[in-house]
């Protein structure tokens, strides 16, 4: 049986972030992502899972319990890291962990958790003196201190620098390796691609698709899988490329040409360029990513 099951969830409490119809299931031991633009309803959805909000319609089940009716059961088994949640400025790291540990009959070992989250050196540091990454890791530690079976992490790398973001991703993988099922909310493609076993794409309060990152990418037409971008050394008529059977589209972005097509497109394009004595400067070749999948499935980009 799934660890989390959300069926036809509907919740409307403010204009932004309303949930129209969301269904998905999370299996034990996976990192399941909820990906979508800001205001798509991601946070509202997980707040219903955490029991912080009561759904207007639909059902939510966490380990077989209803987060509203069986709130006490869910709260001891689910750890939550909330978006933009801080602690009192003068509370020390070690104090916070010990305090939250006392809320549970059988908590995780605070010292070990500090070690896993690389916060041992900050044990006696006040919350206000921590860096953004350290505050975020402490937040994760508090979500895990009860020894939960499920951890819900909402936008945990927002506002972090790239290095802190990568460190936090490693932390999430370590959590999963401890046997915790992770529900991860994010609007970063890279984060979803790197961490999630499966993910639900959410747009305007509805689930657009649920699949593995690779599965979602595979939904993009095969003819568009490869993207080449370069700056031609001499004028290059679009028709030269467009007439190639491997090419699906040709676009101009400033002085750069962007070509998409089948996996053979790179060879075909370079052959044409060589024949016309044109050199491709700044050549980049990329595969379709989740962002392309999101555009293909919703007609919008994530940043909209």
Partner 1 sequence: MPAETVPAETVPAETFPAETVPARSGPAPAMLAKITLMEFRLFVRDIVGPALIVVLPIALLLGFGLMPGGTRASKDLAGQSAAEYIASIDVGLVLVVLGFTILPSVISDYREKGVLRRLGTTPVRPSRLLLAQLLIYSVSALLVVALVVVFGNAVFGTPIPERSGYFVLAVLLGMGALFGIGLVVAAVAPSGKAGSAIGMALFFPSMLLGGVYIPREKEAAAMRAIGDYTPLGATLKTVRDSWQGLDPHPAQLAALAAYAVVAIAAAVRLFRWESK
Closer Cβ to partner 1, 182 or 250, answer by number = 182
Distance CA 33, CA 192 (A): 6
DSSP string, 196-222: -SEEEEEETTEEEEEE-HHHHHHTS-G
95 part of the interface to partner 1, by CB under 8 A:
yes
Nearest-approach distance from CB 16 to partner 1, in angstroms: 11
The residues near 163 (Cβ < 8 Å, ≥ 6 apart) are 133
Residue 117 contacts residue 140 (beta carbons within 8 Å): yes
86 part of the interface to partner 1, by CB under 8 A:
yes
Closer Cβ to partner 1, 96 or 269, answer by number = 96
Distance CA 185, CA 4 (A): 14
Show the site string, 42-61: x = touches partner 1 by CB under 8 A, - = not. --------xxx---------
Among 149, 190, 197, 223, binds partner 1 (CB under 8 A): 149
Hey, which residues between 193 and 252 contact partner 1 (CB under 8 A)? Answer: none
Nearest-approach distance from CB 225 to partner 1, in angstroms: 40
Helices (H), 202-298: 213-218, 238-242, 265-275, 290-298
Strands of 181-186's sheet, edge to edge?
A: 57-62, 4-11, 19-26, 206-211, 198-203, 31-35, 181-186, 150-154, 78-81
Q: Of how many residues is the chain composed?
A: 304
Residue 40: C-alpha distances to residues 175, 192, 205 (Å):
27, 16, 5
87 part of the interface to partner 1, by CB under 8 A:
yes
Record the tokens describing residue 110, joined without a space: 């605070």
Nearest-approach distance from CB 28 to partner 1, in angstroms: 8
Burial, 166: exposed, middle or buried (Cβ in 10 Å; 0-12, 13-18, 19+)?
A: middle
Q: Give the number of residues in contact with partner 1, rule: CB under 8 A.
A: 36
Closer Cβ to partner 1, 60 or 302, answer by number = 60
Lookup result for tokens 């990906």: 35
Show the site string, 104-143: x = touches partner 1 by CB under 8 A, - = not. xxx-----------------------------------x-
Among 7, 10, 12, 77, binds partner 1 (CB under 8 A): 77
Nearest-approach distance from CB 245 to partner 1, in angstroms: 54
64 part of the interface to partner 1, by CB under 8 A:
yes
Among 16, 54, 57, 103, binds partner 1 (CB under 8 A): 103
Which positions touch partner 1 (CB under 8 A)?
1, 28, 50-52, 63-65, 72-73, 75-80, 82, 84-88, 90-91, 95, 99-100, 102-106, 142, 146-147, 149
């Amino acid at each position: 049986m799934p660890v989390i099951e959300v069926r036809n969830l509907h919740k409307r409490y403010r204009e932004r972030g309303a949930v129209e119809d969301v269904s998905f299931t999370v299996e034990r031991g996976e990192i399941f992502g909820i990906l979508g633009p800001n205001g798509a309803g991601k946070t509202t959805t997980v707040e219903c899972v955490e029991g912080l909000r009561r759904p207007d319609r639909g059902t939510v089940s966490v380990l077989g319990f209803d987060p509203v009716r069986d709130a006490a059961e869910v709260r001891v088994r689910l750890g939550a890291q909330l978006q933009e949640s801080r602690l009192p400025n003068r509370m020390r790291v070690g104090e916070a962990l010990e305090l939250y540990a006392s809320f549970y009959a059988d908590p995780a070992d605070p010292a070990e958790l500090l070690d896993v989250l690389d916060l041992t050196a900050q044990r006696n540091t006040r919350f206000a003196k921590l860096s953004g990454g350290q505050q975020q890791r402490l937040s994760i530690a508090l979500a895990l201190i009860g020894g939960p079976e499920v951890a819900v992490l909402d936008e945990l790398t927002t506002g972090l620098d790239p290095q802190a973001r990568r460190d936090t991703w490693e932390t999430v993988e370590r959590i999963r390796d401890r046997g915790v099922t992770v529900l991860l909310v994010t609007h970063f493609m890279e984060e979803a691609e790197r961490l999630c076993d499966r993910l639900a794409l959410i747009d305007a309060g509805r689930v657009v698709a649920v699949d593995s990152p690779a599965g979602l990418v595979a939904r993009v037409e095969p003819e568009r899988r490869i993207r080449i971008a370069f700056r031609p050394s001499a004028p290059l008529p679009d028709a030269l490329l467009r007439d190639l059977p491997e090419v699906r589209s040709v676009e101009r972005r400033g002085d750069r040409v962007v070509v998409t097509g089948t996996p053979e497109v790179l060879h075909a394009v370079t052959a044409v360029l060589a024949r016309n004595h044109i050199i491709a400067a700044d050549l980049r070749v990329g595969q379709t990513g989740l962002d392309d999948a999101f555009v293909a499935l919703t007609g919008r980009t994530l940043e909209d």
